[in-house]
A and B are shown apart, each in its own frame.
Chain A
Amino acid sequence: MTTAPAVNFSNLAVLVIDDHPGMRTSLRITLSNFGVTKTDMSQGAFDAVHRIKQRAYDVIICDYNLGEGRDGQQLLEELRHGKLISMSTVFLMVTAERGYERVMSAAELAPDDYLIKPFTAESLQQRLTQILRKKAAFAQVHLWLDQGQLPEAVLGCDRICALPPAYTIDAWRLKAELLIALGRLDEAKEIYDQVLAMRVVPWARMGLARTLFLQERHDEAEGLLLDLVDDAPDFMAAQDFLAQVQEAQDKAEAALETLAKAAARSPNILNRQRALGEVALSQGDLDTAERAFSTVVERNVHSILRSGDDHARLARVQVEQGKLQEAGATLRELRSHFPNDPKAAIAADIVESLKETRAGNAENARTVLERALSLAASHEAPLTEQISLDLAKACLSSGLEAEGQRLVQTLVNNNHEDNRLLRSSRRMFQDLGRADEGERLIQESVKVAVSLNNEAVMRARQGKLEEAADMLTQAATNLPNNVQIQLNAAQSLLSLMARDGWSPEHAQKVRDYIRLARERRPDHPKLGKVVALQQQLAKKFGVRDP
């Protein structure tokens, strides 16, 4: 048997994260036996994040079960999303049961490898050796990825596939994900189809479903996910994604059912509970919404990521249920837990106003509402959609008619494709006994956004690229939160430059639109396509930094 080159462990900086002190010590000694000299230890996620911010680690060995707070997977997602660790950092997950490995191995953000307890020192050394070898093979690709050079990284994957085939499947998997990010969906689909022809593996089914969804083939994506959920009921990422696909198809009831099932199976994932609460609320299922938001508020006490939004959500559901005392208690908790957060104060005032209206105290309602409005005016950060909608409701209930209507119009203009928000807006008007009038207002606002878009697309097709770009950049300024319009504006400027040549001003605008879109909707179907176009154009004109 050919022996691959030995790996030198002596220069590696290793972080061990485990809440069990015996396990930490054990691992440190085991690591020192094969030459690791620099091992730091953390007992939980909070301390680990702190250490990782202080210094760069080559290897992180993390127990999945970290006791209170976050689990290993959540920590990994936070580290990768927050770019706290680079692509070359090894993340090795340790689990007590093979269940987690099964469930997580198909996740978009999977760790580099798993070790299932109990494991031997030899096993740990072998796994580390093999991952480090793989990292070495992917070193250049990972560097490009860290620098955001996606097209180069794709070519790098091709080069790995052309080498002796030890990492072919890994390279395919990574390449397919990059192609999705670049909006090159047909190519991504080809890879997934190719893998699935060999064997039905969950990550490839999931990848194919994502590709189909982005190609707006929603029915096919849903069918595929329903099969996957049926075959692998413990594969939670598929259920969350299924709910998202069902929402996009405006199948609210199906989405609610999917999320309720998933939340019952693993109640600790707070984002899932939030999604469940919001879908339930948008359909008027107040009891389910209250249960979901209560769970979030209770479990979130220990998280460093908690925000006042969860309390505000729970309180507003309680107001609608007529549980005014409970709502009052939740609001008091909101104010006391987030004393220096202006957004929390605004949210608390808005929901307080709704509560006072419900209690029949019109005067109090108006007083707190005005306080919220003046706070909001002096505060830069935008409110979340749900809180904006609550603000609109409070205004409409307290006789601030024009303000309320303006808020709804802006919200709908900016989110004309968001089925859940449109449903929630309709429900609000129903609640106020103004369903017909509300429907008119919503439809008109949707129409404004859609017709602006359509008009511009038509001009572009007729070759009137300047006119299209003018219309869309104007619309993008008026509707700064409408991701679709931002991206269409970017695309129109890119088409203009493709015809007329590079323009630094246009390029700057494109950069801004892409940044805004990425902040608000990193998963928007159009984002990858526009980014790919931008990079392609930059290459054509020899611009180093697009």
Chain B
Amino acid sequence: MTKQPPPPGVDLGSLMASEFHELKNQLGYLTLALGEVVSRHPDAAPWLLEPRRICQNISDRLVQALTLYKNDQGRLELNVDAQSPAAFLEDICAQSKALAGQKIRVECHSEGCPPFWFFDRYLMEMALLNAIHNALQFAREHIRIGVHLADGGLCFEVRDDSAGYPAHILANQGHDPGRTATGTGLGLFFSHTIARAHESKGQHGHLTLSNDGGALYRLWIP
């Protein structure tokens, strides 16, 4: 079979993008519906936690893929505004605890962080939730989520008690989306992209991955 070019006038990129968008919305309904079942039949919760987490994960990855596509097309625009890091972390923590269920303990720390900082709340939330998904998947007992001032910028941290990142991830630091089939590669590349997109007075944000008694994810923005 020979490879067929797309028919003239069809922009496959945009077509896929709008298809992703629609799939994402459908998954949204499914996620909400599963949440409803959990709340109506609490005894079913242990069985539904995992399907719900998977739905949320697929939906998040579709959004990430869409955002990366936009960035690739030069159309990613940030909505940077003043946010309270503590309130932001509180929001993230509530979502993480719901995802973690009884199995994994979630700790949150925002002591001493500044009253406000400028960033795109939605994209930052996507990046961090993805890191938290990974951490929850590999953690043994607990994860720690934190935010603090560092080097004149704001640093978000996700730390778990797993065996740590594998060597190839530490080697490419999230710069390469294509290295794994588990979705970790895409998620870390997304974090890397979002960090880079935050810029102030010529300084860009960055992602640092290391092992320190488990995997340590650090997203720093100026």
Complex Cα distance A201/B98, Å?
33
Encoded as 1 (CB less than 8 Å from any B CB) or 0, chain A from 57 to 101 comes to 000000000000000000000000000000000000000111001
| Closest B residue to A26 using CB positions | B32
Check B31–A130 contact: CB distance below 8 A.
no
Check B79–A101 contact: CB distance below 8 A.
yes
Check A126–B90 contact: CB distance below 8 A.
yes
| Closest A residue to B22 using CB positions | A96
Check B111–A1 contact: CB distance below 8 A.
yes
Contacts of A386 in B (CB 8 A): none
Contacts of B29 in A (CB 8 A): 22-23, 26, 118
Knowing A30-B32, A102-B79, A126-B90, the reply to whether A199 touches B25 (Cβ < 8 A) is: no
Check B82–A201 contact: CB distance below 8 A.
yes
Q: B28 at interface (Cβ–Cβ under 8 A)?
A: yes
Contacts of A169 in B (CB 8 A): 82, 116
Q: B212 at interface (Cβ–Cβ under 8 A)?
A: no
Check A123–B80 contact: CB distance below 8 A.
no
Closest-CB distance, A195 to chain B (whole angstroms): 8
Complex Cα distance A124/B186, Å?
27
Encoded as 1 (CB less than 8 Å from any B CB) or 0, chain A from 111 to 146 comes to 000001111111101110010000000000000000
Check B115–A130 contact: CB distance below 8 A.
no
Complex Cα distance A82/B50, Å?
47
Q: B47 at interface (Cβ–Cβ under 8 A)?
A: no
Binds B, one of A160-168, A270-278, A510-518: A160-168
Closest-CB distance, A173 to chain B (whole angstroms): 9
Q: B59 at interface (Cβ–Cβ under 8 A)?
A: yes
Of A33, A117, A120, A165, which contacts B25 at CB under 8 A?
A117
Knowing A1-B109, A126-B95, the reply to whether A97 touches B79 (Cβ < 8 A) is: no
Check B122–A101 contact: CB distance below 8 A.
yes
Of A23, A105, A118, A203, which contacts B24 at CB under 8 A?
A118
Check A118–B82 contact: CB distance below 8 A.
no
Check B31–A120 contact: CB distance below 8 A.
yes
In B68-121, which residues have CB < 8 Å from any A CB?
77, 79-82, 84, 86-87, 89-91, 93-95, 97-98, 108-111, 115-116, 118
Q: A214 at interface (Cβ–Cβ under 8 A)?
A: no
| Closest A residue to B30 using CB positions | A118
Q: B21 at interface (Cβ–Cβ under 8 A)?
A: yes
Check B91–A127 contact: CB distance below 8 A.
yes
Of A120, A123, A127, A234, which contacts B77 at CB under 8 A?
A234
Check A120–B79 contact: CB distance below 8 A.
no
Contacts of A102 in B (CB 8 A): 77, 79
Q: A232 at interface (Cβ–Cβ under 8 A)?
A: yes
Complex Cα distance A119/B98, Å?
13
Of B21, B27, B59, B80, which contacts A97 at CB under 8 A?
B21
Q: B137 at interface (Cβ–Cβ under 8 A)?
A: no
Check A120–B56 contact: CB distance below 8 A.
yes
Contacts of A96 in B (CB 8 A): 21, 25
Check A201–B39 contact: CB distance below 8 A.
no
In A379-435, which residues have CB < 8 Å from any B CB?
none
Encoded as 1 (CB less than 8 Å from any B CB) or 0, chain A from 437 to 449 comes to 0000000000000
Check A105–B90 contact: CB distance below 8 A.
no
Check A1–B89 contact: CB distance below 8 A.
yes
9 tightest A-B contacts by CB?
A118-B28, A165-B115, A169-B82, A199-B118, A102-B79, A126-B91, A122-B98, A26-B32, A122-B94
Apart from A1-B86, A199-B80, A199-B200, what are 4 other A-B pairs with CB-CB below 8 Å? A102-B79, A105-B79, A116-B122, A118-B32
Sample (19) of A-B pairs whose CB atoms are under 8 Å apart: A1-B90, A22-B29, A23-B29, A30-B36, A97-B21, A118-B31, A123-B91, A123-B94, A125-B94, A126-B95, A130-B91, A164-B115, A166-B115, A169-B82, A199-B80, A199-B118, A199-B200, A203-B81, A232-B77
